[in-house]
Structure 1
Amino acid sequence: MLQRTLAQEVSATGVGLHSGERVRLTLKPAAVNSGIVFCRTDLPEQPSVRVHPNLINDTRLSSTIVTETGLRIATIEHIMSAFAGLGIDNIKVELSAPEIPIMDGSSLPFIYLLESAGIVNQEQPKKFIRILKEVTVVEKDKEVHLSPYDGFKIRLNINFDHPVINRGNQTFEIDFKNTSYLDEIARARTFGFMQEIEFMRSHNLGLGGNLNNAIVIDEGDVLNPDGLRFDDEFVRHKILDAIGDLYVIGHPIIGFFEGIKSGHAINNKLLRALLDQPDSFEYVSFEANEQVPNSFHELPKIA
């Protein structure tokens, strides 16, 4: 299986969920082995940085790159999830502001954007990270695990004592050898509670949030006129987030991720713990597609 990038560049505009700033996003093809690179075109000299777990240094309600020089690229988890879902290895992401646009609160608009640009194979094999032994991080009532599995599977549990969330399952397991990221995960939107919005905005968070880009819940119901896309959209979105958080490592993971009340901070700590234990994983490539675990599908058919 070969590395993948875009056939041509593509752009969109939107607003940052937390900053409220309008932003132009441009996605560009990139060379083999260059990885996922973010660039701030609004800053002098247009600084850029290749994504890495050690650069996720702000996890307040999102995964945000903060470098030693103060360069910020905020709320990357949804677009990273889209890159993972379509198997994008190399891409340049240009931004005219410090935050990825929230779009509709899911990864689906990014999927459409990537597909409109076209996805192409490159001349070098794709590199995977295969989990060889379990790695775990536990913090109070939260825990996350990566363990060996011949494919990519996720089981995630959330725990919200709220009547709306209690209507659907709060645990969801998905094995990508049997089902599709695009069908089951990509449409799930981020969510927030009405009573938390004032607190968030007092801390300069959630300034761009509205009913068009997030599920908003009051004491007893969903405020969005069209309701939910899935009965268990909340836990599915947490899986979307986890996929994006894990892809910060730069390669698809061959393994099983399990999270209990997981979030951006503990997901990132899991990646750092994995990298700190070199005997817990190995880098692998496959010369023939039939050698690749079934979880990693061929390029989607572009209409």
Structure 2
Amino acid sequence: MEEQKTIAKDFFLEGKGLQTGKSVKAFFYPEKENEGIIFRRTDLEGGTSVRLKDLSILDTDRRSKIGFGQGNYVETVEHVLAALWGAGIDNIRIELDGSEMPALDGSAVGFLEAIKKSGIRKQSAPREVVEIKEPLWAEDEKSFLGIFPSNAFKVSYLLEYPSPAIGRQFFSSVLDPDLFQKEIAPARTFCLKEEAEALLKQGYGRGADLENTLVMDTDGPMDNTLRFADEPVRHKVLDLIGDLYLLGRPIKARVIAIRSGHRLNLELVRKVMVGLCR
């Protein structure tokens, strides 16, 4: 039996939000067993805690946004959730003085390192694992995301971008904490050079810069160096892991993704949630 885990001591991280560009401090606290993952906005008077076990997914455009509406939400949670999955954390409270988690370097590695530095404490309650009993999927004209019964957590992702710097990339592996730390957590968020200006006009990426985002030109990232030859597809896998951890517990399944993004990821999470509530 695998036990639940929390962090051994509290810590905080600070930076600017990737989408809003606003400075934010995020404080991480140990939480009791069976409490789950909790977000709380300290800048909102009377703000309600957002608990993954009873969350509402509000938006999926360019990032994952959760909460209860009326301004009580937290956005861009996928990178920290991926890090929590990689560290095996089940119970934690994250309090932040803004709407968006800090971007750090655009990957999950800063969150993961801080969690491990704080220490990880085992708890007595058994860890709950989501086991997929039947195939579930979400799709549109160009993308597909399916989840199937399996004895392990394996993800296969096909990424295709109309840019010679990205093109077609494929990643497939059984995922475990060691592989995540070495092969997935360091992968940074990215966008195409020609997308950057349009995203700003739409109100996104106000905190993006060349330190936290790979801006892909025709021959590679601008003023930056790839950590992996296929870093973009690895970041897509990172996002998928974080989005699936919105379930608040690890999942045992075979996952196949073709050009999937946050919208399909969270559509599938909703379908899994419906199954858990039956």
Q: TM-score, normalised by structure 1?
A: 0.87
Alignment correspondent of 2:166: 165
Are 2:165 and 2:217, in contact at CA under 8 Å, matched by a contact in 1?
A: no
The one-letter amino acid paired with 2:50 is: V
Identity %: 35
Structure 1 runs (4+) deviating above 4 angstroms are none
1:58–1:66 CA contact under 8 A, matched in 2 = no
> Aligned partners of 2:55 and 2:173: how far apart in 1?
28
* Cα distance change on mapping 1:246 and 1:178 into 2, 3 Å: closer
Distance 1:46 1:178 in 2: 33
Between the aligned partners of 2:37 and 2:241, the Cα distance in structure 1 is 15
Structure 2 residue matching 1:187: 3-state secondary structure: coil
In 2, are the aligned partners of 1:41 and 1:47 still within 8 Å (CA)?
no
- What does the per-residue CA deviation read over 1:124-165, in whole Å, with 9 as the maximum and x for residues that have no partner? 010000111111112112111110111110001111021111
Q: Secondary structure at the match of 1:244?
A: helix
> What residue number does 2:24 align with?
23
Q: In structure 1, what is the equivalent of residue 228 of structure 2?
A: 230
Q: Which amino acid aligns with 1:229?
A: R
Distance 1:194 1:138 in 2: 27
Equivalent residues of 1:185, 1:236 under 8 A apart:
yes
Contact 1:4 1:119 in 2 (8 A): yes
Matches within 5 A, 1:31-180: 31-52=32-53, 55-166=56-167, 170-176=169-175, 180=179
- Offset of 1:204 from its aligned partner? 1.6
Match of 1:206 in 2: 205
- Does the Cα contact within 8 Å between 2:184 and 2:238 map onto a contact in 1? yes
For the 8 Å contact 2:55–2:67, the answer to whether it is kept is: no
Offset of 1:84 from its aligned partner?
A: 0.6
User: Which amino acid is the alignment partner of residue 57 of structure 2?
Assistant: I
1:288 paired residue number: none
8 Å contact kept, 2:40–2:47: yes
Task: Supply the AA of the counterpart residue of 1:161.
Answer: P
**In the alignment, what sits opposite 2:187?**
188
Counterpart residue type for residue 173 of structure 1: S
Residue 252, structure 1, aligned to residue 250, structure 2: yes
Deviation at 1:277, TM superposition (A): 3.4
Kindly tell me: are residues 179 and 32 of structure 1, through their superposed partners in 2, closer, same or farther at Cα, counting changes over 3 Å? closer
RMSD (Å), alpha carbons = 1.8
Give unpaired runs (5+ residues) of structure 2.
none
Counterpart code for 1:55 = S
Q: CA-to-partner distance for each residue in 1:222-258, whole Å, 9 max, x for gaps?
A: 1033x10000000000000000000001110011111
CA distance 1:108–1:53, change in 2 (3 Å): farther
2:86 and 2:177 in contact (8 A); partners too:
no
In the TM superposition, residue 199 of structure 1 has moved relative to its aligned partner by 1.4
CA distance in 1, matches of 2:177, 2:41: 38
Q: Distance in 2 between matches of 1:105 and 1:149?
A: 31
Q: Equivalent residue for 1:277?
A: 275
8 A Cα contact 2:20 2:100, kept in partner: yes
Residue 158 of structure 1 aligns to a residue in which SS? strand
Show CA shifts across 1:157-182 (max 9, x none). 1110211113xx61110112696110
The runs of 5 or more residues in structure 1 that have no matched partner are 281-303
Q: Greater shift after overlay, 131-140 or 216-225?
A: 216-225
- TM-score (norm. length: structure 2): 0.95
Q: Is the 8 A contact 1:4 1:90 kept in 2?
A: yes
Shift of 1:60: 1.2
Asked if 1 retains the 8 angstrom alpha-carbon contact of 2:13 and 2:27, the reply is: yes
Measured against aligned partners, the alpha-carbon deviations of 1:37-86 in whole angstroms (never above 9, x if no partner) come to: 00101111243110258522111100011414331201000000001111
Q: How many residues align?
A: 277
